Amino acid sequence: MTPLHFLPIASIPAVRPVFMIVTGVFLMIIAWRLAKNAPSRTAGCIRTGALLLGLGYVVLLPLYEAGKIETYSAAKKTYVGSEETALSWHCLKLAVMNSGWLVFGLGVAMHAKVFSPAILRKPATAPLAPHESVA
């Protein structure tokens, strides 16, 4: 008879999926509040990136941690189960997370007006008064 292995509730492997879910939800809430006052294209980029990141953090990464999705290690080239399925989930995770950060970052950069041309202002010069003699 083999002993049962239980994860303690406060262990790192048990808390990691919960932390990822909280991170994803917090990111989506912050993005929605940031996009509320932004122009339409900027708001769309921020919301789309946040939704992609939310999908990655709230759904995909916790399922990986729980072992519900077949994992693939690119460094070791090892997989559990079907190679095609493991590689497909790995590519989906990479595409969702990387495109989410890219689109979210572009939206935040547009909101901060990083890509707008700098406005050159001429220094304000007061007209010189005619010189008056003191004597």
Among 2-6, 34-38, 100-104, which range has the highest average pLDDT?
A: 100-104
Residue 135 pLDDT more than 80?
Answer: no
Q: Give the domain ranges of the chain.
A: 12-111
pTM over 0.85: no
Residue 7 pLDDT more than 60?
Answer: no
Asked if residue 71 lies in contact with residue 79, where contact means CB atoms within 8 angstroms, the answer is: yes
Q: Write a three-state SS string for the chain.
A: CCCCCCCCCCCHHHHHHHHHHHHHHHHHHHHHHHHCCCCHHHHHHHHHHHHHHHHHHHHHHHHHHHCCCCCEECCCCEECCCHHHHHHHHHHHHHHHHHHHHHHHHHHHHHCCCCCCCCCCCCCCCCCCCCCCCC
Between 27 and 38, residue with greater pLDDT: 27
Give long-range contacts, CB 8 A cutoff, 24+ apart: 31-34: 31/104, 34/108, 34/111
Residue 21 pLDDT more than 70?
Answer: yes
pLDDT (average), residues 40-64: 92
